[in-house]
Structure formats: structure tokens, C-alpha cells
């Protein structure tokens, strides 16, 4: 019997606020009303909750409404914020658009700087390539006269440090000298 | 009969909105006049500060008027839509600073009508009860406070509260119930009981 009352009290407790505010179904309302009639704890709970709801309603409804001055002041401020919508096109842009605009401007600036830096680096490297000193190849020319007077044998040997050392080293140039014309005895 | 009245009222509101969307200033001013008291009181109850309430009310109206074309009457009542904006702005405000409880007490007292004004005890009792409510509301979490204020201060249904607070209806119900539980202890000490006792002297 005790547990039944306890169960009923719990049932009431869970739904009492809704009961007081008239938010329950007809069936649940009848059930709780029946429990309130037969259980003193449920009745106390109902009294407390009803008083509480009334008190809250009364006191919250007493909150001061704005006076005429406040209403007028707020309306003037609202109008001041609303008027630029039609009068001044530049002010009609919402704040988040302005923020977006600033963000885009910043991004463009950063991108421009980044591109400038990258291009600057690449042109610098290009310039560096163009200003590289021309490769210097030095050769030591050794000439030897063959036993035959008509033939001059020259050998060009690349000096150390020359860029084309591999290709040119050991190159032997053979020059054919034009035979000196033999003068006739009568011409002397 | 009351349904017909509501329908007529809804038509009036929709007409004001339509005028506002067309850019007619009279539409805006009519909407403002209709809802300014409720909006201001809601902000006062949530923020506990007159100046903040004024700022937030103004800000909420400006936002609502600028976005009037977005309002869909099939989804929610205009009042609910406005309250959603106001509650959202209030949340921003009390995230920025803690509410000042003393100002609310003054705000309540300014409009206080004591039942027996010639007896100072009754005035004192009324003030004590009012202060207790202010403190109790201030100690509630913002969500519970919003639920209580919307339910008892503005008579919204649980469905409307759920729309304004952007939560399921059951959550709105349980928030009101929880707030009841928290407030019960405080108000039973300073509330009706004390008032009755002092009035009977």
C-alpha cells in the first residue's frame, strides 16, 4: 500500500508542473486530479506548484514596460540604422559583406606579395644564369715540324680548369703547309 | 470567436510584414508598436539591466526589419521569430558580461503596486519577495531562465518555447520543470507565505 502511494506521488511529481500549466492530456489530468484527492502529499505538491506558477506569472508580468521616452529613443535609433538602406548605397552593404571585402583585399595583397617574391626569386636566378662568366678554354699549342719540311704538325692540349678539357685534350691538329714555291734560277 | 480574433490578428500582422517588405515605413512602425513592449520586457527579464535591454531590443528590431523578407509565416508565428532573434541577442550579451542583479530590482520596483501601500510592512514584504525572485532568477542557468521567462512572463506554449530556444519540445518542458524545482525553495521562503504573514499583522 505504501509503495503504491509512493508510486502515485512520483507520477504526480513528474507531471505536476504540466498539470498546473494545463499542458496534460485529459486522461492524465483526470488521473492526477484523482491522486491529489486521495493523497495528502500529492495535494501539498499541487498547492506548492500552483502557488509557484501564479507567483512567477504575477511577478514576471510586473516587469516594467518601456516608457514613452524609451520607445521613442529606440525607434529613432532603429530608423537611423534603417534609413541608410535606401539613402546611401555604400552604407547599405551589410557588415559581414564589409568583413568579406576586407578579407578579400587582404588575400589579394598577400597573394600579390607572394607572387612578387616568387617571381623576384626566379628572375634573380635567371639573371644569375645570364651573368655567369663565359667558359674559358685555354689551350697550349705545341707545334712540331715533321722531318718533311712541307708538313707542320700542331697539337693543342687543353690547360687544367678549362671547361672543354675532356673534349679537346689530346686533339692533334695537323696543318698542311703550302709548299714554298721553288724559284727558277733565272728569276734570282 | 477567439480563433476568428486570432485569424484577424494574424492577417493584420501579415499585412504589416508585407508593407514592411515593400519598404513602406508604416509597416515597420506598426510592427514596432505591436511588439516593442513584449520584446523589451523579455530582454529585461533575461538581462537584468535596462540599458542592455534597450540596446538588445533595438538591435533585434533592426535585424528583424532588415531580414523581414526571410520571415516565413508557415514555419513560425512572427512573435516567435522576433523572440528567437531577441533571445539570441540576449545570449550574446550575457556571454559578454555577467548580469547586474541590482538594476533589475529597481526596474521591478518602479512599477510595483503594493496591495496595501499605506502599510510599510506590506511594501517591504513585496520588495523582499521581488528581490528573492530576482536573485533566484539570476542564479538559474541561462537556459532555465529563458524557459521560465518565456513560459510565465510571456505565456508561450512549450512548442513555441522549443522554437525560440531551438530545442525539442520535451527539452523545453523539462527545463521549465527543473526551473520550478530550483525556484520553489527560494520563493517559498520569501514569497506568498511571508507576504500573507506580514499582511495579517
Alpha-carbon gap, residue A96 to A112, rounded angstroms: 24
Collapse the DSSP code of A152 into the 3-class scheme (helix H, G, I; strand E, B; otherwise coil) and give the result.
strand
Closest CA to B106 of B87, B134, B86, B125: B134
Task: Looking at A21-90, list the stretches that DSSP marks H as alpha helix, in order from N- to C-terminal side.
Answer: 26-38, 40-61, 68-82, 84-87
- Would an 8 Å CB–CB cutoff place A46 in contact with chain B? no
Distance from CA of A104 to the nearest CA of B (A): 25
Q: Is the pLDDT of residue B8 over 80?
A: no
Does A23 contact B183 at a Cβ distance shorter than 8 Å?
no
Q: Is the pLDDT of residue B25 over 50?
A: yes
pLDDT at A184 (0 to 100): 58
- Condensed to tens digits (0 to 9), the pLDDT of residues A67-96 reads 888 888 899 888 888 875 444 445 555 666
Minimum-distance CB partner of B57 among A51, A53, A74: A74
Give chain B's mean pLDDT.
Answer: 79
Minimum-distance CB partner of B40 among A51, A66, A86: A66
Find chain B residues with C-beta within 8 A of A53's C-beta.
152, 180
Task: Locate the chain A residue with the closest alpha carbon to B59.
Answer: A78
Find chain A residues with C-beta within 8 A of B157's C-beta.
23
DSSP state of A180: P
Helices and strands per DSSP (H, E), number in chain A: 7, 3
- Condensed to tens digits (0 to 9), the pLDDT of residues B96-145 reads 765 454 444 555 544 444 445 556 666 777 777 777 777 888 888 889 99
- Would an 8 Å CB–CB cutoff place A17 in contact with chain B? yes
Distance from CA of B7 to the nearest CA of A (A): 23
Does A66 contact B177 at a Cβ distance shorter than 8 Å?
no
Amino acid at each position: 500500500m505504501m509503495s503504491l502511494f509512493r508510486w502515485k506521488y512520483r507520477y504526480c511529481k513528474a507531471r505536476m508542473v504540466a498539470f498546473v500549466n494545463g499542458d496534460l492530456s485529459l486522461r492524465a489530468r483526470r488521473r492526477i486530479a484523482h491522486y491529489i484527492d486521495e493523497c495528502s502529499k500529492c495535494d501539498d505538491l499541487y498547492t506548492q506548484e500552483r502557488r509557484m506558477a501564479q507567483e512567477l506569472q504575477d511577478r514576471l508580468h510586473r516587469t516594467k514596460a518601456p516608457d514613452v521616452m524609451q520607445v521613442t529613443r529606440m525607434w529613432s535609433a532603429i530608423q537611423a540604422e534603417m534609413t541608410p538602406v535606401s539613402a546611401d548605397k555604400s552604407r547599405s552593404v551589410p557588415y559581414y559583406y564589409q568583413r568579406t571585402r576586407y578579407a578579400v583585399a587582404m588575400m589579394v595583397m598577400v597573394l600579390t606579395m607572394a607572387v612578387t617574391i616568387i617571381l623576384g626569386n626566379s628572375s634573380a636566378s635567371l639573371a644569375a644564369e645570364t651573368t655567369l662568366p663565359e667558359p674559358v678554354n685555354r689551350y697550349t699549342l705545341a707545334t712540331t715540324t715533321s722531318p718533311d719540311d712541307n708538313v707542320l704538325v700542331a697539337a693543342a692540349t687543353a690547360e687544367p680548369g678549362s671547361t672543354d678539357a675532356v673534349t679537346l685534350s689530346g686533339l692533334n691538329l695537323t696543318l698542311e703547309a703550302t709548299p714554298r714555291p721553288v724559284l727558277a734560277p733565272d728569276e734570282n | 470567436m477567439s480563433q476568428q480574433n486570432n485569424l484577424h490578428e494574424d492577417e493584420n500582422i501579415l499585412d504589416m510584414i508585407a508593407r514592411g517588405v515593400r519598404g513602406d515605413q508604416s509597416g515597420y512602425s506598426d510592427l514596432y508598436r505591436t511588439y516593442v513592449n513584449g520584446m523589451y520586457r523579455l530582454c529585461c527579464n533575461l538581462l537584468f539591466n535596462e540599458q542592455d535591454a534597450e540596446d538588445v531590443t533595438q538591435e533585434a528590431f533592426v535585424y528583424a526589419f532588415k531580414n523581414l523578407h526571410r520571415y516565413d509565416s508557415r514555419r513560425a508565428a512572427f512573435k516567435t521569430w522576433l523572440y528567437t532573434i531577441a533571445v539570441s541577442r540576449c545570449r550574446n550579451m550575457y556571454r559578454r558580461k555577467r548580469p547586474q542583479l541590482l538594476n533589475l530590482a529597481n526596474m521591478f520596483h518602479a512599477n510595483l503596486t503594493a496591495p496595501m501601500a499605506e502599510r510599510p510592512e506590506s511594501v517591504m514584504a513585496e520588495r523582499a519577495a521581488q528581490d528573492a525572485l530576482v536573485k533566484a532568477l539570476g542564479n538559474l542557468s541561462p537556459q532555465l531562465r529563458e524557459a521560465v521567462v518565456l513560459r510565465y512572463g510571456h505565456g508561450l506554449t512549450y512548442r513555441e518555447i522549443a522554437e525560440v530556444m531551438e530545442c525539442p519540445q520535451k527539452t523545453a518542458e523539462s527545463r521549465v520543470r527543473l526551473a520550478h524545482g530550483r525556484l520553489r525553495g527560494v520563493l517559498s521562503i520569501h514569497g506568498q507565505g511571508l507576504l500573507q504573514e506580514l499582511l495579517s499583522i
